Chains A and B, each alone.
Chain A
Amino acid sequence: MTGLSGHNGRGDVAATVCDGFLALADEWIARAVSDNATSWFRRAIESVRGASDGNALAAAIGIAPRRVGKADLSLTPNDRAQARALRRGLDPSDWTIDQLARSALMVASYAGDDAAFALHFDAFCSTAEINELIALCRGLPVYPAAERLEPRAREAVRSGMKPVFEAVAHRNPYPVEFFSEDAWNQMVVKAFFIGSRLWPIQQHDERGNPRLARMLVDLAQERWDAGRPVSGEVWRCVAPHADAEGTGALVRAFETGGERERLSVALALQHLASQRVDAAFSQQGLRGQLTDLQSHLVTEKIDWTSLA
């Protein structure tokens, strides 16, 4: 594979990611499944290499779970380090064997033409069943021509199917690298609407912004009006960008929320130095309680994964 361009570097760099991923897939699949299944996988990879016939790829991706099974990949810490070394943010820790096989088949089908690849990737997703869609979305970080696949990634986070949404949003470096601020914000807010979690979203503290904070304060207000609970993870996005209204919402959440929500507010404010926030909490006589809970978080080693 030469002449690759797009996100995964250009030319040889991109080829390294693709080839490296195919090598990892081959190694991990070969050790997880029977010899028969391994030889099926190797033959399938060869049969789709640069194939112009979409049906061969569709057949191989469609049938993959029946050949290699759907068990968890069960990667070792060393495997995970290899993945990260190959491609920043690549995290297949909760992939299944068939998902790895399907992503690898898609990578192998690249025939050296970015536009053609983007087109056939998109066409494939249009006819994909739900498990194919999940697998293909998980593979987004390793495909060539990655930036051309952004519309399909956006489509997936618009999906009403939570596992499809999470295939892009969670443990995936694609959104942080390719989504505009608007797209990012929609993804984060949508996570709350479909009952998903924020903490598996890569680098989401770095992508926080005032508009997102405002949208989430509105969301919290709506939920309070409706007497519905507010996810504590909201405050993680609000705290660093809180305006006066956001600060008021943080105080309200801390004052009226249950223990989990109070802990979330405390954690969100843990490493922030904001005079506005300090003043607001002090004014309500809550500064001491906040400090106490923050010490509690430290001694109990409570982080976002345990609060979500």
Chain B
Amino acid sequence: MTGSPPFGTFTCDAGSLQELLTDKTVVCPCCNGPLTAETLARLLADVQSLASVRKDQPHDGLNGASRNPHAGIIIDPHAHMISRTTDDYEAMAKAGIVAVIEPAFWLGQPRTNVGSYADYFAMISGFERFRAGQFGIRHYCTIGLNPKEANNEHLAEAVMEMLPRFLVKEGVVAMGELGYDEQTPQEDKALRRQIELAKEFDLPIMIHTPHRDKRAGTLRTMDVLKEHEFDPTRCVIDHNNEETVREVLDRGYWCAFSIYPQTKMGSDRMATVVENFGPERIIVDSACDWGVSDPLAVAKTARLMAQRGISSDAIHQVVYANALAVYGLNGEMDEQHWLAPAAIDQRTLYEGNSVLRGGQMPRIEQPGRPADDLFIT
């Protein structure tokens, strides 16, 4: 594509097209069938997305030609920081990560009683938040009963009773991770009850899509959300891949990708997804936890996207602005928290981010020492 963008500022949503077409018909050039307003809207949106990601010339850095003064700073909206070391925090801060969201999930080993669940919620809204602040990273969390542990009915019931107490806490930006693991009736029940709770407490939802039977599980999750009339613009569907992205975006949800190179999604594939679908409603996260995962995955993916010529504005959208838009909906996560921290926070909770203080280009460093540097005697 050369020259000016082909469609100018025409809003190519289904409604405008419906109006434009009324009694006219547009025919598909390959099959001669009639194109509906929805299909046309989708095709046009794809073209506009392609145009928007290719606006800039390729360049090395993330700041590049961006008009945004804060390009280069990153939010990792899915990171299980309780499993990570201080080396990780240091490296993340240096790489430009200003905020993380810690979704409540399982711990690798199932909890056997509600007390350990309560302590976990208190930890991700307490000590972990303090720890992150010491490294200049703002820490938020989501609260919820995860689908794996929803299968322990006795535990699930007790956790459900306790949830309201935690949903009102400061720093809670959504309910999550909700969804399916094995898609059992118990998981279904927990999901539905929690969707209703999210509505009651006016919280967005973060959905964990199942690893096994992913596509069907993802579609089913969205069907259930729709059945409960949950607004898709207040919901992030996470752990997507090439098989699920289209439907998730088409149904109006925020579509997140966890960069787990060996399993869920790699940086390279992620860049291709952004090239193909554009940056609208797409979110990149690391989902780093106790497994083989990388707390710098978002930063590395941002760098790779820049090297592949994706515009810095598009990158900013998928590694920062989109996450801020949806997880900022209930007002608990606000850009001012890291750009202009309150006096009380500067005194107590937040050491300030050196990336923002120095205004330097974010650096990407490996957390900790490489194994080769370790000498065991």
**A interface residues, Cβ below 8 angstroms from B:** 54-55, 58-59, 62-63, 65-66, 70-72, 94, 96, 126-134, 160-164, 166
Which chain B positions have C-beta within 8 A of A134? Answer: 348
In the complex where A66-B331, A96-B344, A129-B170 touch, is A55 in contact with B125 (Cβ < 8 A)? no
Residue in B129, B331, B347 whose CB lies within 8 Å of A130: B129
Whole-angstrom distance between the Cβ of A191 and the nearest chain B Cβ: 15
CA A66 to CA B172, docked complex, whole Å: 12
Which chain B positions have C-beta within 8 A of A160? Answer: 127, 130
Of chain A, the residue at the smallest CB distance from B345 is A70
Residue in A66, A70, A126, A129 whose CB lies within 8 Å of B118: A126
CB–CB B170/A163 < 8 A: no
CA A62 to CA B169, docked complex, whole Å: 5
CB–CB A161/B130 < 8 A: yes
CB–CB A129/B165 < 8 A: no
Which chain B positions have C-beta within 8 A of A71? Answer: 342
CB–CB A127/B349 < 8 A: no
CB–CB B122/A70 < 8 A: no
Contact with A along B325-347 (1 / 0, CB 8 A): 00000010000000000111001
CA A161 to CA B331, docked complex, whole Å: 25
Whole-angstrom distance between the Cβ of B279 and the nearest chain A Cβ: 31
**Knowing that A62-B170, A129-B171, A163-B349 are A-B contacts, what are 11 other residue pairs whose CB atoms are under 8 Å apart, sorted by A's residue number?**
A62-B165, A63-B168, A66-B170, A70-B344, A72-B344, A126-B119, A127-B121, A129-B169, A131-B349, A162-B130, A163-B348
Residue in B126, B171, B347 whose CB lies within 8 Å of A133: B126
CB–CB A129/B122 < 8 A: yes
CB–CB B126/A72 < 8 A: no
**B interface residues, Cβ below 8 angstroms from A:** 118-119, 121-122, 125-127, 129-130, 162, 164-166, 168-171, 331, 342-344, 347-349
CA A96 to CA B130, docked complex, whole Å: 18
CB–CB A127/B118 < 8 A: yes
Residue in B119, B122, B164 whose CB lies within 8 Å of A55: B164
Of chain A, the residue at the smallest CB distance from B161 is A55
In the complex where A65-B170, A163-B349 touch, is A130 in contact with B165 (Cβ < 8 A)? no
CA A163 to CA B129, docked complex, whole Å: 12
CB–CB A130/B168 < 8 A: no
CA A6 to CA B129, docked complex, whole Å: 34
CB–CB B127/A161 < 8 A: yes
CB–CB A59/B168 < 8 A: yes
CB–CB B348/A72 < 8 A: no
CA A126 to CA B115, docked complex, whole Å: 10
Residue in B126, B130, B164, B349 whose CB lies within 8 Å of A128: B126
Sample of 20 A–B contacts (CB below 8 Å)? A54-B165, A55-B164, A58-B164, A59-B164, A62-B170, A66-B331, A72-B344, A126-B119, A127-B118, A127-B122, A128-B126, A129-B122, A129-B129, A131-B170, A131-B349, A132-B170, A160-B130, A161-B126, A161-B130, A163-B130
CA A131 to CA B126, docked complex, whole Å: 8
Which chain B positions have C-beta within 8 A of A126? Answer: 118-119, 122
CA A65 to CA B125, docked complex, whole Å: 15
Which chain B positions have C-beta within 8 A of A54? Answer: 165
CA A134 to CA B130, docked complex, whole Å: 12
Of chain A, the residue at the smallest CB distance from B115 is A126
CB–CB B127/A130 < 8 A: yes
CB–CB A129/B348 < 8 A: no
Of chain B, the residue at the smallest CB distance from A97 is B344
CA A130 to CA B172, docked complex, whole Å: 12
CA A95 to CA B93, docked complex, whole Å: 29
**Minimum-distance CB pairs A-B, first 8:** A62-B168, A129-B125, A163-B348, A161-B130, A129-B169, A130-B126, A58-B165, A96-B344
CA A131 to CA B165, docked complex, whole Å: 15
Which chain A positions have C-beta within 8 A of B347? Answer: 94
Whole-angstrom distance between the Cβ of A55 and the nearest chain B Cβ: 6
Which chain B positions have C-beta within 8 A of A127? Answer: 118, 121-122, 162, 165-166
Which chain A positions have C-beta within 8 A of B164? Answer: 55, 58-59
Which chain A positions have C-beta within 8 A of B171? Answer: 129
CA A130 to CA B122, docked complex, whole Å: 8
CA A15 to CA B127, docked complex, whole Å: 35
Which one of B121, B331, B344, B347 has the greatest number of beta carbons of chain A within 10 Å? B344
